[in-house]
Amino acid sequence: MNAMILSAGRGERMRPLTDRVPKPLLTVNGKPLIAHLIEALVRGGILDIVINIAYLGNLIRTQLGDGTSFGAQLRYSDEGVAGLETGGGILRALPLLDSDPFLVVNGDIFTDYAFAALPETIPGLAHIVLADNPAHHPEGDFGLNGNIVTNAGRRLTFAGIGLYRKALFADPPGERFPLAPLLRKAADAGLVTGEYTRGAWTDVGTPERLASLNAGDAWD
């Protein structure tokens, strides 16, 4: 299975840390966020990884290289200066993603999720991982009825980990667009399955959350 790590965001909420360093290269336990994710993917047997880049993207490419040091193959989808948001970034990278479904992981999460546990096939258009709602996002994103993702009921937070079929992107709203509306539309049609992770997971979206991890709340 191919994987993609979303790494093209500007990281506005992380400023001033991201004024000169792209968010995926910020460090937890002395190692870049994106390196933690690559190592976790490799442990899960996922070795062919696409990374989309935009803001300061050359720094990511220079530091990670072709993936040899991780035991992986890294390829890059360059979105230019502005980036194409999550959905547009995935759409741009589709020619580099050979498997269907393929895995997409947000480049700004820190988690002990075991990627080897993901299903190899999915019945619908997407399969996403949901987590408990953090304090900064108490309203959550999606409901989960058994293994069916809904837009109603008690909501959990999308963990930024998902399997997608290329058909999910068959009718894009343009070149630059977010992923969430596509998932909500597919969920309304009953075409999204999901799972709940009880493991450790953090959306490293602010300097405060990054500092908290580095102050001793992080794990190996």
Looking at residue 219, its pLDDT comes to 53
What does the pLDDT look like over 76-120, one tens digit per residue?
Answer: 999 988 899 999 999 999 999 999 999 999 999 999 999 999 999
Q: pTM for this one?
A: 0.95
CATH code of the domain in which 165 resides:
3.90.550.10
Half-sphere exposure of 114 (CA within 13 A, CB side): 5
Looking at residue 73, its pLDDT comes to 98
Strands 31-32 and 102-106, sheet pairing: unpaired
How confident is residue 17, by pLDDT bands cut at 50, 70 and 90?
confident
Place of tokens 């990281």: 11
Looking at the predicted structure, is the pLDDT value of residue 194 above 60?
yes
Query: Closest Cα to residue 154, out of 138, 172, 178?
Result: 138
**DSSP at 217:** I
What does the pLDDT look like over 136-193, one tens digit per residue?
Answer: 999 999 999 999 999 998 999 999 999 999 999 999 999 999 999 999 999 999 999 9
Looking at residue 18, its pLDDT comes to 86
* Concatenated DSSP letters of 119-144: -S--SSSEEEEEEPPPTT-TT-SEEE
How far is the C-alpha of 209 from the C-alpha of 190, rounded, in Å? 34
Half-sphere exposure of 40 (CA within 13 A, CB side): 25
Domain of 104 in residue numbering reads as: 2-217
Looking at residue 153, its pLDDT comes to 86
Largest Cα separation within the chain, whole Å, is 45
What does the pLDDT look like over 43-75, one tens digit per residue?
Answer: 999 999 999 999 899 999 999 999 999 999 999
Half-sphere exposure of 55 (CA within 13 A, CB side): 19
* Domains of the chain: total: 1
Is the CB of residue 32 less than 8 Å from the CB of residue 208? no
How far is the C-alpha of 78 from the C-alpha of 50, rounded, in Å? 10
> In one letter, which amino acid is 91?
L
Looking at the predicted structure, is the pLDDT value of residue 220 above 90?
no
Looking at residue 217, its pLDDT comes to 55
